[in-house]
Amino acid sequence: MRIQYIFSLIFFAFISVSYGQIENLKTHTQMNLDCKKCHICDTPTKANPCLILCPRNKLKVVRHLPEEGPENLTIDKISSDEDLYGPVNFTHKLHSEMSLMSGGCSICHHFNPPGKIVKCSHCHETARDRKDKTKPDLKAAFHRQCMDCHKSWEEKTECESCHSLNSKKIESTVKIKAEKVHPEVKIPQRVIYETDYDEGSVVTYFHNDHSSLFNLECSDCHDQESCANCHAEIRLESIKADPHERCSTCHDTENNCNKCHKSEIARPFDHKIKTGFDIATYHSDLSCAECHKTQNKFSGLKPDCVVCHSTSDGYFNHSITGIKLDETHVEFYCENCHQDKDYSRKPICNECHDDDISFPTSIPGERIK
């Protein structure tokens, strides 16, 4: 009888624990959670929960411009008077500008919701005896964040690269200058690529046209790159499965190979040769975007002046030339004065007037500028 009583107690205890576990599991599954934020596999189990160590790519990040942040800031959260090295004078703007070529703000600010810049200490504990072993403490996070880049760039990670000696512990100290800025990067006119494409091994990339005329940002092409690409003795090439990946955003790289691949170095873009519309005389000071309003789309415009320069009744607005036509000339066709619609040549008057009337001695209206 006693044995049956003991077994009954064990049975009811097991049922209660199991029921509690089921209730907890039920509550967890009913919560509005995205499993992929914490688990790297589709079916996590108790034996193998496959937790993501640092789900930084899943966290919400709002992009900010370098100008929105401080010029410099002092990192002193983990330093004390007894430490050999003092706080770090961190050139925030300089680093944020460089980060645009390799991921942007999210490199450091893994969690950055709208309207708030979250401090690193919000997620990383200052105490080294942390309970959560899935992410580094604050000191380790700072060092891991900085050392990866500095190792690839300087090939060394000396403490003095970021820290000055603690002036309260050692009187003779040399402070790191915070006013350092990255030297201006000179944009090349063109870059020549040698490829193994048989029908045209030479690709000429007119860098200045893409950055200045087409208004592309550096980060549009240069992403996930390392400082070592420029600063290391042996430059690293970005790993791209498709070498055309950057170009294919704007260009048809699958069906139009000969547009870029030539047998010799290509000549710079000439608007008159490529489109038949000469912009050298009247439109040379305009950027492409002033006429081509849709970004990265440079086709579909008619080379007729009235498309952009028209009056309310649909006629060409001649006033933009500096001459407002009088009532007699306003109804003329352009070719009545501009032979063959060649606006680079002097307009003619002898179609209607005697030889004593000519431009610019006589004008078909009044000057307005």
The token pair at 55 is 């789900």
Q: What integer best gives the mean pLDDT of the chain?
A: 75
DSSP secondary structure string for all residues of 206-263: -HHIIIIIS---HHHH--S--THHHHSSSPPPP--SSTTTTGGGTS-TTT-GGGTEES
The pLDDT value recorded for residue 264 is 92
Give pLDDT tens digits for 259-269: 889 999 998 88
> pLDDT by residue (tens digit) across 171-227?
433 444 444 566 777 788 888 988 888 889 999 999 888 887 777 777 777 776 767
Task: Write down the pLDDT at residue 152.
Answer: 75
Is the CB of residue 151 less than 8 Å from the CB of residue 157?
yes
pLDDT digits (tens, 9 = 90+) for 62-107: 677 778 888 888 888 777 766 777 788 888 888 888 887 777 777 7
Residue 202 has a pLDDT of: 93
pLDDT at position 277 is 82
CATH match for 66-165 among 3.30.390.30, 3.40.630.30, 3.90.10.10, 3.40.30.10: 3.90.10.10
pLDDT band at 334 (very low <50, low <70, confident <90, very high): confident
Q: Which residues contact 69 (CB under 8 A, 6 or more apart)?
A: 92, 93, 96, 117
Q: What is the dihedral of CA 282, 284, 287, 289, to 10 degrees?
A: 50
Contact of 51 with 40, CB cutoff 8 Å: yes
Reported as half-sphere exposure (CB side, CA atoms, 13 A), residue 266 has a value of 22
**Following DSSP, what letter does each residue of 309-361 receive, concatenated?**
SB-TTSSB-GGGGTEEE-TTTTTS-HHHHSGGG-TTSPPP-TTTS-TT--TTT
At residue 102, the 3 state secondary structure works out as: coil
Mean pLDDT is lowest, of 54-68, 208-222, 283-297, for 54-68
- Distance, CA of 153 to CA of 234 (rounded, Å): 10
pLDDT band at 28; cut points 50, 70, 90: low
Residue 27: band (very low, low, confident or very high) from pLDDT cuts 50, 70, 90: low
Provide the residue ranges of all domains of the chain, joining segments of one domain with +. 2-55, 66-165, 191-269, 304-369
Q: What is the mean pLDDT of residues 294-310?
A: 77
Confidence label for 53 from pLDDT (cuts 50, 70 and 90): low
Out of 122-126, 234-238, 255-259, 280-284, the most confident range is 255-259
pLDDT value of position 268: 84
pLDDT over 90 for what percent of the chain? 3
